[in-house]
Structure 1
């Protein structure tokens, strides 16, 4: 796809991406959602939906700060790679050679690379990780080092992938040892200032307390009330989980992980960080992939990198396509927030639209063969419709009309096309269990407004009309 067509398609579907994500957030009952979608410096979606604090009723804005938790690991990975590029650190340096307090411990021999890739076998959160539910403070430097010395090694290096916040806290200490700066000072010089970030930092800033979106409890049962969870300092664990940001600034940061952008690290360092260090599988089932300081994934056919984050009260997810430059960041302010589901769904919708745009463009080129893809009819019944069985959107994605079950977590799995056949709008005539190949019927009033649609056998109405009908 040409760059112009990619950008044009993203601009055209941006309002729908925001609308779909807002529906998902409301449907799942989360207090608030920030969503940003960008590509190579252009922001297509900047959404702030819902409440920053359900107890005060404060509306969420794009400026509210979220604790992005394990996204912190990607920042730490970048900082390590900068030191490696300058020759101040090597990936095969041993932790015991960098942090004298580890001398003689089992953990002394683990390498920087093993720590970055969660292959060092280090305990995840210590034997008492109740700081995750605020029953105790997060660990300070001395406590991290004592944990590593006394109970840190669970597996031998490279025996198993073992995700570890303690290991990344140790990387923060290593950065301090090598640079002679605090982790926060080193991060400002390495990441925050080069990118011009003003709403991103390593740790809770009491001076900005009013700017943070409140964290909220999850729900055990559907009707449970949510309570606000206070923000706390993660102390020496900031390198693993302390950072804060906004969706917009995460898009700016994510762009620095795309190839060709050398603001933070070289493309060579990106290739090292983003290749598979681990394929995480248990009893033959793959659970995920991890690189060197960054998560590796796939949404549809799109290869992505990034990270999720889980902090008491905030759940977040950012995905980056390092080749095409698309970045999606979804931040939610509840322990059960569906940030990952929303980010994945947005990318699926982008994939559908870009594939459709390519198909439309290819069909219009002389000599490509086949009939041109008919354009979306001017009177297409675009909108959101409901009936007893659900809610469906009719939307133009990339020049082809689609129906989307807006409740579904995986929009690409349930999307169907509507096409013009013999002068009629029909569901795409392909194999299927539904009403494929059948016509779409639209009823309009005297002013041309849609009264109802019948896609297949059942009538649906605009959502507010359906609500009024069922309330009678």
Structure 2
């Protein structure tokens, strides 16, 4: 807290505190008109949407906070400094504590400059036996599913064998088709695990090296000189300095995109934003290029190579890259909440799905298939154990302290999950292993692009190894 020369709270911080209390009152009203009045009275500006995806307007975000919390209880002010107020609040629905923050402008009338998303506060759980932990997880899932906050599947395996399975909600809301444990879901960027392991397989087959320049396989992207500087290891670790494809050209053509090359053809050929190998910046374009590398090195399409060398050896019968407009694939439809007048409702998100997924994301898989994939990696059925370790280890020498070759440490309330997540409109996936435990977790959801995050956080807090005091 900032104080003036007399030791009193400054006007700036007093304004931030008052605005935060007003925000709580607006959210707890559950009324869009009250929330909009709060926004108007405090001059809250909203960022202009970029690309083709339109996020919720601020009033929709406040309605969604009320939807997810069923109301907020003020616990205490955590920090008040330089016009930034952060309070600990408790969700009435789950009892979970979150950090709610606002930032006000430096001068009167101290309009609100930013309201970031509420962040879950880690909770120490003392649950004893495995049965008690699973009972705790199950009770939480029942609560959020009954409130229509989670539609999807949770599968937890111990030493490769499923020991906890839950399916909630609908694969198709309009037709009232329920999710089952075996329902396939779009898994978005979790697909990058497949692309990464396919590269590892090609290395083992002697068809490429991690040190190879991109130019060996894709000679002119984004230009010849850059393609010589960018190495396969840089693409795998998101350290090539490349960006993403989500601009107007991509969204205007999204229903015509059926291969990595189709997407690359739309990407602006900008030079790397930094010297490859110096720092980390998440890049879908990098993984699209890896799809082209796989095709050039193997002589097969990306889809044929991963099917023959990954999915078939692992016995993954529900995993594929279907043509969304051609193949009759029974799978979970994608939904996200949208503002309809002064209410939120779930809306199907097929307009944000490519005609076919590519090497950066958009494959379809089920929770049992992901566990099969993890088991196949563990037992060396796809690649050697040393390849799995190499890909799993972070690459700080490349400026990537938390991301290896297609494998990341997913941070969820301080507890890591080693694997990969995936988020897109109507898609939320977390998949990986919990360090120091025998557990592998698959959380697949088709209700909003963030709906799996707190579910995964809750699972990790229940199952993670307790830290020493």
Which TM-score applies when normalising by structure 2? Answer: 0.64
Residue 215 in 1 paired to residue 328 in 2? no
Residue 317 in 1 paired to residue 437 in 2? no
For residue 445 of structure 2, the aligned residue among 332, 337, 346 is: 332
In structure 1, the residue corresponding to 2:402 is in which secondary structure?
Answer: strand
Residue 246 in 1 paired to residue 359 in 2? no
Aligned to 2:307: 188
Unmatched tracts of structure 1, length 5 or more: 1-7, 360-472
Aligned to 1:227: 347
Cα distance in 1, alignment partners of residues 373 and 193 from structure 2: 10
Tell me by how many angstroms 1:60 deviates.
1.6
Kept in 2: contact 1:165–1:237 (CA 8 A): no
Tell me by how many angstroms 1:65 deviates.
1.4
Kept in 2: contact 1:168–1:237 (CA 8 A): no
Cα distance in 1, alignment partners of residues 263 and 393 from structure 2: 29
Kept in 2: contact 1:255–1:320 (CA 8 A): no
Residue 270 in 1 paired to residue 381 in 2? no
Cα distance in 2, alignment partners of residues 105 and 126 from structure 1: 24
Cα distance in 2, alignment partners of residues 231 and 256 from structure 1: 34
Structure 2 counterparts to residues 293-442 of structure 1, below 5 A:
293-297=406-410, 304-321=417-434, 324-351=437-464
For residue 200 of structure 1, the aligned residue among 319, 324, 328 is: 319
Residue 150 in 1 paired to residue 269 in 2? yes
Aligned to 2:405: 292
Kept in 1: contact 2:428–2:452 (CA 8 A): yes
Kept in 1: contact 2:235–2:290 (CA 8 A): yes
Cα distance in 2, alignment partners of residues 125 and 345 from structure 1: 33
Tell me by how many angstroms 1:334 deviates.
2.2
In structure 2, the residue corresponding to 1:151 is in which secondary structure?
Answer: coil
Aligned to 2:118: none
**Alpha-carbon spacing, 1:210–1:223, altered in 2? closer, same or farther (3 Å):** farther
Aligned to 1:63: 182
**Alpha-carbon spacing, 1:217–1:126, altered in 2? closer, same or farther (3 Å):** closer
Cα distance in 2, alignment partners of residues 247 and 98 from structure 1: 34
Cα distance in 1, alignment partners of residues 377 and 314 from structure 2: 12
Cα distance in 1, alignment partners of residues 427 and 385 from structure 2: 31
Cα distance in 2, alignment partners of residues 304 and 21 from structure 1: 19
Unmatched tracts of structure 2, length 5 or more: 1-127
Cα distance in 2, alignment partners of residues 202 and 139 from structure 1: 9
**Alpha-carbon spacing, 1:129–1:114, altered in 2? closer, same or farther (3 Å):** farther
> Residue deviations 1:268-323, cap 9 Å, x none?
11221111125999xxxx9x821111112466786531111123321111121366
Cα distance in 1, alignment partners of residues 215 and 440 from structure 2: 37
Kept in 2: contact 1:69–1:311 (CA 8 A): yes
Tell me by how many angstroms 1:329 deviates.
1.1
Tell me by how many angstroms 1:24 deviates.
2.8
> Residue deviations 1:335-354, cap 9 Å, x none?
34421221121121123xx6
Residue 128 in 1 paired to residue 248 in 2? yes
In structure 2, the residue corresponding to 1:37 is in which secondary structure?
Answer: strand
Aligned to 1:401: none
Aligned to 1:19: 139
For residue 163 of structure 1, the aligned residue among 274, 277, 282 is: 282
Kept in 2: contact 1:204–1:242 (CA 8 A): no
Aligned to 1:80: 199
Residue 37 in 1 paired to residue 136 in 2? no
Cα distance in 2, alignment partners of residues 53 and 296 from structure 1: 32
Kept in 2: contact 1:122–1:164 (CA 8 A): yes
Tell me by how many angstroms 1:89 deviates.
0.9
Kept in 2: contact 1:124–1:162 (CA 8 A): no
Cα distance in 1, alignment partners of residues 195 and 407 from structure 2: 10
Aligned residues: 339
Kept in 1: contact 2:412–2:456 (CA 8 A): no
**Alpha-carbon spacing, 1:206–1:197, altered in 2? closer, same or farther (3 Å):** farther
Aligned-CA RMSD value? 3.3
